[in-house]
Structure 1
Amino acid sequence: MRYYLNSKISKILVIIYLFLVTYLSLIKSIKSENILYEPPNLGILKNNIKYYINSGQYEKDIEKVINKAKEYIYNRTKDLTEEERSKLAVVFDIDETSLSNLEYEYKYDFGFNYETWIDWVKQAKAQPIKPTLELYKYIKSLNIKTFFITGRNQLNENLNEDPTIINLKKAGYYLWEKVYFKPTNTKISTIEYKTNCRKDIESKGYKIILNIGDQYSDLEGGYSEAIFKLPNPMYYIP
């Protein structure tokens, strides 16, 4: 009789155990599905981005990168003559690297529309990103050549009247060698386009020692000794 009871109890315990294992596995599966398939809430993300910017952390993070870039430039060129430095080049991206479009981003809640973007560009009122501008001035003081490579299109055949050129000058940038605009209706990727531009710069006899941008697509593809990426939580360009 004792053996029978023990056997019966054992069967019950096994059934309970299997039930618990199945139940816990199901709960774990449900949780895993939520983690894997539910993306972050867009509204919360936008609020987090605004806090990151408005708290001053965004600017601090930019300053950290710029300071490292300046240190690199100093160490790279400190033993060179002015003539040797004149054969070196630094490449800058424009949007969210040299000029800030925060006013546009806030106005359209981080959305993008080509017509509203062109209207914003034509106003030529994007503000300089101050740490980048200071780096730019430091580089010019060393007689190093500067180039801009932008994803913007040229909007005026007369370069001096193009709003991007006007905006750069108003912001305090000066004496660059060339601004590369992305051709309208081109089918090549951003990486390929910007790589080709850097290749063109080096074909003219310059050595690019630093390339700085806010997108990885600004920086990939080679033709630069060093790359520095600025933070940009607002948009992504592949």
Structure 2
Amino acid sequence: MCSSVVGLTPNLEASMNTRSPSRVRRGTLAAGVILTAVAVPAALTMPAYAGPQAAHDDHGTSRAALTRAASGTDRLLEPRSRFTMAADGSSGTRPDGAGVPNIDSVKSTIRTYYAADATGIADKTTSPYISELGGVLGKQATQLKGLYNQAKRSGKKPAIVLDADDTTLWTYDMEDNAMHFNFDPVLQDVWVQGQKFPATPGMVQFVAAAQKAGFAIFGLTGRNDDQKVATVANLGKVGYTAFNTDNFFTKWTGKGDSQQPSYITCATAKCTTVEYKAGTRKHIESLGYDIALNVGDQWSDLQGGYADHTLKLPNPTYYLPSPNLAGVEEPKLAPRTRFTMKPDGSSGKTVGGEGIPNIDSVKSTIRTYYGADATGIANKTSSPYITELGRLTGAITPALRASCAVASRLGVKPAIVLDADDTTLWTYDMEDNAMHFNFDPVLQDAWVQGQKFPATPGMVALVNAAQKSGCTLIGLTGRNDDQKAATIGNLAKVGYTGFTNPNYYTKWTGKGDSQQPSYITCAAAKCTTIEYKSQTRAHVQTKAGGGYTILANFGDQFSDLKGGHAIVPIKLPNPTYYLP
């Protein structure tokens, strides 16, 4: 890759020796070196990387041509939509951040599937989830008679076993609105004891049909004995008539009389979900029942046998894995690993619940990718993320240095534009450990003002090398004017040497002197990220903005890069949030 720089440089040197090269010619030469020296290695290292653009109008290219070039490039600046992801998070070992489902896109897809509003409250009358459940349960209801007759032939009493959460009782509003997809056992107990859960759509009717067909009904949940009375009461409150404290099994607490039953044996002191649930089903069958159907929303509800048939209900909002029983192979009782997901969440209308990447599996995959520990702190020395960034910066830095040096000697004021969060400053520990992937602007400001962010791996060396080679550094961030001084201070603190106040652009607050600049016009009262950033880059290219030639534009979000006004956009990986 570096050979393209070496081979091109002598020709540029020769061009520089011609008499009085025009500004247009100098811009063209600068574009030529950056296209060869940066676009080629970046294209080889970044799957989502877009092609080069023409030089800006101050160097002889019309704004119309720039617009056309930007439009063509922007079509390539789109997130990946097909993913392969193992449920256990192991797919994060690949140094491929674009291949990890973005957690914000996953949330949007889940909310579309449940037709949830902006506060995380699911629609209780119509949604893709309700439609899918209606189809699944409707089909299963037509098979109840056959299942009953099959079980009856065993000489035992036909039975159906049902899990509680998201099988008979619907937890979505708690998971999203109350917990923001971060499980809190204290808050969960408040909901349980308060009997706050509605029925899972369609299940009251299904259980009633099973009772009418002659089945004995059992409940089997991971909720504990202290929650048993409230759970049975909640079930009755929403319309179930089949459950009572005798046929509803909850897990022991280990306190007082709530001890592990003698009919359950486990490999270690702490039973797995499958050991507990399969052992309980075995116990039910020992009482003279044949479990014709076992219904649950988790694969661990269904594994371990002791049921003639299983019914998996969709639930992408959490994942509770468990090792299967020793020697038991049930390959069909496993999560999907291939997904199609558009970044805007619209796939939630069409793909079905099992076709949505499970949010807990996505978190596990992200943490593997960043080498994060159980508390959400990223490994600062070694991880697939650091490996990927090392490859990217290692490929680009030599070419960028050469491009900056040659363009500087040509006198075209070369510059590179850099976003802040997860481009120059690394926010992972804030996003995971502090915010649990649920953005909090107050907490974010505390981190910004406290200058708590480390440098994005590999970027200090790349940025400082570009600056030393003749490129001016332009900072362009969605952080606001009140955060500007702290951001520049943080950058200097972690080793960046070239950022200055005049060339660091932050967003206006609308208060006092912090107002929308005259060089930015927007279609609505609130500017989009692309309007703000692309027009700021256009301003940087004008005489008033410094008259710079933007050789490369670095960002972790596609919205950092769209809208043109840079020769080469360079996308850094970031599956921890999505800012369209």
TM-score (norm 2): 0.34
What's the CA shift for 1:78?
A: 5.8
SS, match of residue 45 in structure 1? helix
From 301, 305, 308, the equivalent of 1:218 is 301
**Partners of 1:74 and 1:205 in 2: how far apart?**
20
Gap regions ≥5 residues in structure 2 = 1-6, 8-35, 49-79, 84-93, 116-125, 255-268, 322-580
| Residue 194 of structure 1 pairs with residue 277 of structure 2 | yes
Q: How does 1:13-52 map to 2 (within 5 A)?
A: 27-31=43-47, 36=94, 37-38=96-97, 39-52=100-113
| Residue 120 of structure 1 pairs with residue 120 of structure 2 | no
> Which is greater in Rg?
2
Q: What does the per-residue CA deviation read over 1:77-128, in whole Å, with 9 as the maximum and x for residues that have no partner?
A: 36998x9998110000110010011221222222211111111111012001
From 201, 210, 233, the equivalent of 1:130 is 201
Q: How does 1:79-118 map to 2 (within 5 A)?
A: 87-105=157-175, 106-118=177-189
Matched to 1:101, the amino acid is T
From 215, 240, 261, the equivalent of 1:173 is 240
User: Does structure 2 conserve the Cα–Cα contact (< 8 Å) formed by 1:86 and 1:145?
Assistant: no
Q: How does 1:58-97 map to 2 (within 5 A)?
A: 58-77=129-148, 87-97=157-167
Matched to 2:166, the amino acid is E
User: Does structure 1 conserve the Cα–Cα contact (< 8 Å) formed by 2:156 and 2:288?
Assistant: no
1:183 matched to which residue of 2?
A: 252
From 221, 225, 231, the equivalent of 1:164 is 231
**Partners of 2:151 and 2:313 in 1: how far apart?**
27
Matched to 1:94, the amino acid is A
What's the CA shift for 1:60?
A: 1.1
Residue 24 and residue 72 in structure 1: after superposition, are their counterparts in 2 closer, same or farther (change >3 A)? farther
SS, match of residue 65 in structure 1? helix
User: Does structure 1 conserve the Cα–Cα contact (< 8 Å) formed by 2:151 and 2:291?
Assistant: no
SS, match of residue 181 in structure 1? strand
Residue 234 and residue 45 in structure 1: after superposition, are their counterparts in 2 closer, same or farther (change >3 A)? same
What's the CA shift for 1:139?
A: 0.8
Q: What does the per-residue CA deviation read over 1:59-88, in whole Å, with 9 as the maximum and x for residues that have no partner?
A: 11111221222122122236998x999811
User: Does structure 2 conserve the Cα–Cα contact (< 8 Å) formed by 1:92 and 1:212?
Assistant: yes
SS, match of residue 128 in structure 1? coil
Gap regions ≥5 residues in structure 1 = 1-11, 13-19
**Partners of 1:30 and 1:75 in 2: how far apart?**
55
SS, match of residue 150 in structure 1? strand
Matched to 2:183, the amino acid is F
User: Does structure 2 conserve the Cα–Cα contact (< 8 Å) formed by 1:213 and 1:229?
Assistant: yes
User: Does structure 2 conserve the Cα–Cα contact (< 8 Å) formed by 1:92 and 1:98?
Assistant: yes
Residue 79 and residue 195 in structure 1: after superposition, are their counterparts in 2 closer, same or farther (change >3 A)? closer
| Residue 142 of structure 1 pairs with residue 203 of structure 2 | no
**Partners of 1:227 and 1:49 in 2: how far apart?**
24
Q: What does the per-residue CA deviation read over 1:21-61, in whole Å, with 9 as the maximum and x for residues that have no partner?
A: xx9798455439x9843222212211111011107101111
**Partners of 2:168 and 2:274 in 1: how far apart?**
19
TM-score (norm 1): 0.79
1:9 matched to which residue of 2?
A: none
SS, match of residue 202 in structure 2? helix
Structure 1 window deviating more from structure 2 (84-93 vs 203-212): it is: 84-93
Structure 1 window deviating more from structure 2 (185-194 vs 197-206): it is: 185-194
Matched to 2:182, the amino acid is G
SS, match of residue 251 in structure 2? coil
User: Does structure 1 conserve the Cα–Cα contact (< 8 Å) formed by 2:159 and 2:215?
Assistant: yes
SS, match of residue 49 in structure 1? helix
Larger fraction in helix: 1
Matched to 1:187, the amino acid is K
Matched to 1:167, the amino acid is N
Matched to 2:275, the amino acid is E
User: Does structure 1 conserve the Cα–Cα contact (< 8 Å) formed by 2:296 and 2:302?
Assistant: yes
**Partners of 2:274 and 2:150 in 1: how far apart?**
33
1:206 matched to which residue of 2?
A: 289
User: Does structure 1 conserve the Cα–Cα contact (< 8 Å) formed by 2:302 and 2:310?
Assistant: yes
Matched to 1:97, the amino acid is T
SS, match of residue 223 in structure 2? coil
**Partners of 1:43 and 1:125 in 2: how far apart?**
27
Matched to 1:57, the amino acid is P
**Partners of 1:79 and 1:202 in 2: how far apart?**
15
Residue 40 and residue 118 in structure 1: after superposition, are their counterparts in 2 closer, same or farther (change >3 A)? same
**Partners of 1:148 and 1:227 in 2: how far apart?**
14
SS, match of residue 99 in structure 1? coil
**Partners of 1:215 and 1:73 in 2: how far apart?**
22
**Partners of 2:316 and 2:208 in 1: how far apart?**
26
**Cα RMSD, aligned residues only:** 2.8
Q: What does the per-residue CA deviation read over 1:2-30, in whole Å, with 9 as the maximum and x for residues that have no partner?
A: xxxxxxxxxx9xxxxxxx9xx97984554
**Partners of 2:150 and 2:47 in 1: how far apart?**
59
